[in-house]
Amino acid sequence: MKKILIADDHSLVRYGLKVALLNHFTDPQIDESWDGQTIMAQLKNNKYDLILLDLSMPDADTATILHWIKSFQPDAKVLVVSMNSEVIFGKRVLQMGAHGYIEKDASPEDLIKAVDTVLAGKKYMSADLADVIVNDTLNRKAVNPFDELTPREFQVAMYIIQDYTITQISELMQLQYTSVSTFRRRVFEKLNIPDRKALVQLAEAYKLS
Mean of the per-residue pLDDT values of the chain: 89
Beta strands per DSSP E along the chain: 3-7, 29-33, 50-53, 77-82, 100-103
What per-residue confidence (pLDDT) applies to 143? 65
**pLDDT tens per residue across span 150-160:** 888 998 999 99
For residue 15, which of 3, 25, 6 has the smallest C-alpha distance? 6
Whole-number Å distance between alpha carbons of 29 and 3 = 5
Q: Which of 85, 208, 105 is nearest to 158 (CA)?
A: 208
Quote the pLDDT of residue 121: 94
Q: Burial code of 69-87, b = ≥16 C-beta within 10 A, e = fewer? A: beebbeebbbbbbbebebb
Helix (H, G, I), strand (E, B) or coil at 60: strand
Query: Which residue numbers in the chain have pLDDT < 70?
Result: 136-143, 209
Helix, strand, or coil (residue 162) = coil
CATH of domain 145-205: 1.10.10.10
Q: Quote the pLDDT of residue 150.
A: 87
pLDDT digits (tens, 9 = 90+) for 139-153: 655 567 888 888 889
pTM of the model: 0.74
Taking the domain 3-136, which CATH number applies? 3.40.50.2300
List strands edge to edge, sheet with 3-7: 29-33, 3-7, 50-53, 77-82, 100-103
Sequence spans of domains, the chain:
3-136, 145-205
Alpha carbon distances (Å) from 81 to 7, 57, 105, 141, 189:
9, 12, 9, 27, 31
Angle at CA of residue 195, ends 160 and 164, nearest 5°: 20
